Amino acid sequence: MSIITLINDCCKNDRIAQRMLYEGLFDYAMKIAFRYIHQQEEAEEIVHESFIKLYKNIDRFDIQRNGDTEALFKGWFKRIIVNTCIDQLRKVQLNIIHPEKDTDYDHIGDSQENALDKIGYQEIIEAIRQLTPVYRTVFNLFVIEGFSHDEIAQTLSISVGASKSNLSKAKSNLRKIISQRNIHTNYV
């Protein structure tokens, strides 16, 4: 069944089409949710909530847009998932660290960045998951989702400076985490 047919049938609340869309996009949605939420149960809840939002609003997706309908649809759904993750983080009182209030911070030189060349994808994902929710969220929005600092500031209700500072600190913490893993690996 084509993606256009699935979308049209989902607009008609066809349960079979909804099930097919769910099964086809579940893994995709989980990967996105895991960028923000690293607990399996909570990530699954986010994904289920995202699907509910998708089904409620699927009639808003413009099938007539030029381009690859499946890619456009996935991009649209990705935005729903990211926003659902951010909403969840807000619910658990995501405390945004403001640069003027955070003074106990160590900086690591850029020479540490070479460690990225030595590790695999899974290790990078694991390192990102070790970041605090604030740093992980800003890092994901900027680096992975491609948001600008203005968009991040607006989305998270913080200043542009706080967004830039949190991204810088997230990158620095990732360097620390990766460097510690490399040191540990070299001595094991």
Residues 146-169 pLDDT 10s:
899 999 999 888 999 999 999 999
Residue 18 structural domain: 3-66
Q: Does any domain span residue 141?
A: yes
Check which CATH number belongs to the domain holding 146 and give it. Answer: 1.10.10.10
Q: Residue 116 pLDDT > 60, yes or no?
A: no
- Residues 75 and 28 sit within 8 Å (Cβ to Cβ): no
Q: How confident is the model at residue 175 (pLDDT cuts 50, 70, 90)?
A: confident
Shared domain check, 125 and 61: no
Find the helix or strand (DSSP H, E) in which 134 lies.
helix 133-139
Domains held by the chain: number:
2
Q: Of 59-63, 75-79, 95-99, which range is least confident?
A: 95-99
Chain center to CA of 181: 23
Residue 62 domain flag: yes
Q: What is the pLDDT of residue 17?
A: 95
Q: Are residues 118 and 182 in the same domain?
A: yes
Do both 56 and 121 map to the same domain?
Answer: no
Tell me, yes or no, whether 77 lies in a domain.
no
- Residue of 93 and 146 predicted with greater confidence: 146
pLDDT at 188 over 50: no
With respect to residue 76, please indicate whether it lies within any of the assigned structural domains.
no
pLDDT in tens, 3-25: 999 999 999 999 999 999 999 99
State whether 62 and 114 are in the same domain.
no
* pLDDT band at residue 94 under the 50/70/90 scheme: low
> In this structure, which long-range contacts are made by residues 151-156, counting pairs with CB atoms below 8 Å and at least 24 apart in sequence?
155/83, 155/86, 156/86, 156/94, 156/96
Residue 109: predicted pLDDT: 37
For the entire predicted model, the pTM comes to: 0.68
On average, the pLDDT of the chain sits at 82
- If one compares 127 and 9, the residue with the highest pLDDT of the two is 9
> What's CA 170's distance to the chain center, in Å?
14
Which stretch of DSSP H or E encloses residue 75?
A: helix 69-91
Claim to verify: residue 174 and residue 116 sit in the same structural domain: yes
Q: Which pLDDT tens digit goes with each residue over 73-83?
A: 999 999 999 99
Binning pLDDT at 50, 70 and 90, where does residue 184 land?
A: low
Tell me which of 46, 66, 86 is where a domain ends.
66
Given pLDDT bands bounded at 50, 70 and 90, which one contains residue 54? very high
